[in-house]
Amino acid sequence: MMRFLLLFSRQGKLRLQKWFTVLSDRDKRKIIRDLTQMVLSRPPKACNFLPWRDLKIVYRRYASLYFCCGLEQDDNELLTLDILHRYVELLDQYFGNVCELDIIFNFEKAYFILDEFVIGGEVQETSKASVAKSIEEAESLQEVRQ
């Protein structure tokens, strides 16, 4: 399973953090610091995977944002790249041509979309249409003013 997912900018600003296991705030801060440093210092054409402690780190850059996650040893790295890509597609579908600013100003939406896609570090729904449908249903609920 995926242990965590971090989104950070090229300047190292954290934009989203999702933890799938219980960690202390101190540990979280350390992981964020270590990984942003490590990933940002890698050359552009380097491999998207690297071993770190007992985890496999998989990351990929989309425009100005880095998507980076920590995997357990059994997890499939290539498939995780697909998870990251599918998440970007979902964000894109929701915001329309998503950019970093959308995620800054609508951070709560980025979390909601992620919850529809991944729970407890495992993929729950891979169909773009199904995820879009659940989000749409929820959106339609909120339009109802009582």
Partner 1 sequence: MPAVSKGDGMRGLAVFISDIRNCKSKEAEIKRINKELANIRSKFKGDKALDGYSKKKYVCKLLFIFLLGHDIDFGHMEAVNLLSSNKYTEKQIGYLFISVLVNSNSELIRLINNAIKNDLSSRNPTFMCLALHCIANVGSREMAEAFAGEIPRILVAGDTMDSVKQSAALCLLRLYKTSPDLVLMGEWTSRVVHLLNDQHMGVVTAAISLITCLSQKNPDEFKTCVSLAVSRLSRIVSSASTDLQDYTYYFVPAPWLSCKLLRLLQCYPPPEDGAVKGRLVECLETILNKAQEPPKSKKVQHSNAKNAILFEAISLIIHYDSEPNLLVRACNQLGQFLQHRETNLRYLALESMCTLASSEFSHEAVKTHIETVINALKTERDVSVRQRAADLLYAMCDRSNAKQIVAEMLSYLETADYSIREEMVLKVAILAEKYAVDYSWYVDTILNLIRIAGDYVSEEVWYRVIQIVINRDDVQGYAAKTVFEALQAPACHENMVKVGGYILGEFGNLIAGDPRSSPLVQFNLLHSKFHLCSVPTRALLLSAYIKFINLFPETKSTIQEVLRSDSQIRNSDVELQQRAVEYLKLSSIASTDVLATVLEEMPPFPERESSILAKLKKKKGPGAVSVNELEEGKREGGELNGGGGERGGDNSTIAASNASTPSPSADLLGLRTGPQVSAAPPSAGSLLVDVFSEAGVNDDGFLSSAPPSAVSEDAAPPLPESNELLNKFVCKNNGVLFENQLLQIGIKSEYRQNLGRMYLFYGNKTSVQFVTFTTTVSCPGELQSQLNVQAKPVEPLIEGGAQVQQVINIECLGDFCEAPLLNIKFRYGGALQNLSLKLPVTINKFFQPTEMASHDFFQRWKQLSQPQQEAQKIFKASHAMDTEVIKAKLLGLGMALLENVDPNPENFVCAGVIQTKAQQVGSLLRLEPNAQAQMYRLTLRSSKDTVSKRLCELLAEQF
Q: How far is the CB of 132 from partner 1 (least distance, A)?
A: 10
Q: How far is the CB of 121 from partner 1 (least distance, A)?
A: 8
Q: Which residue type is seen at 81? A: L
How far apart are alpha carbons 46 and 34 in whole angstroms? 18
Enclosing H/E stretch for 96: none
Closest to partner 1 by CB, 34 vs 115, is 115
Q: How far is the CB of 68 from partner 1 (least distance, A)?
A: 14
Centre a 10 Å sphere on the Cβ of residue 88 and count the other Cβ atoms it contains. Answer: 16
The structure tokens listed for 138 are 């929820």
Q: How far is the CB of 103 from partner 1 (least distance, A)?
A: 11
Q: How far is the CB of 69 from partner 1 (least distance, A)?
A: 15
**For 146, what's the count of Cα atoms within 13 Å in the CB-facing half-sphere?**
2
Q: Which residues contact partner 1 (rule: CB under 8 A)?
A: 1, 14, 17, 20-22, 29, 42-43, 45-51, 53-54, 73-74, 76-79, 81-83, 85-86, 94-96, 101-102, 104-109, 111-112, 115, 119-120, 122-130, 134, 137-139, 141-143, 146
Phi, then psi, of 120 in degrees rounded to 5: 55, 30
Three-class secondary structure of residue 141 per DSSP: helix
**C-alpha torsion sign, points 46, 44, 100, 107:** positive
